[in-house]
Amino acid sequence: MIFKITPDQKLKAVEICTEGPADLSGFNSIFQSIVNLPDWQPGKSIIFDFTDLDFSGFKSVDMRLVSDQVVRYKASFGMAKWAFILSGDLQFGLMRMWEIITEDRVPMIINLFKNRADARAWIMKTNMKAIS
């Protein structure tokens, strides 16, 4: 699992682009890398682009384990907005499952999208509401 983290000053967010086969150690590396960013603050928005991530080897138990990883970092993530850009039914199904497992365990707002423009617009809109 390969990932690249790009801070987006305009959105006051970070964007993570991923590719290759999804795996648990890759998700843990992503979460650890996010909270170790020099300008990271709890509550900062995150856009995950999973359009090139291969979930074909993932099962529901794996999504529970990814949720457990997020729980370990919940104080560092804070009340954040997480947008996921997804490409197909398998990704949407697995991420919806992850959302249901995670939403009662970690204080965050989660939304799923089919394209980057909608994800960015949602983050921009929700960030503007927080400012006003």
Query: Interior CA angle at 24 toward 81 and 52, to 5°?
Result: 65
Query: Interior CA angle at 98 toward 63 and 111, to 5°?
Result: 145
pLDDT class for 132, splitting at 50, 70, 90? very low
Task: Read off the DSSP letter of residue 36.
Answer: T
Around 78, how many Cα atoms within 13 Å sit in the side-chain half-sphere?
10
What does pTM read for this prediction? 0.91
Position 126 scores a pLDDT of 67
Domains and CATH numbers, the chain: 2-131 (3.30.750.24)
Structure tokens at 28: 């843990």
pLDDT in tens, 11-33: 889 999 999 999 999 999 999 99
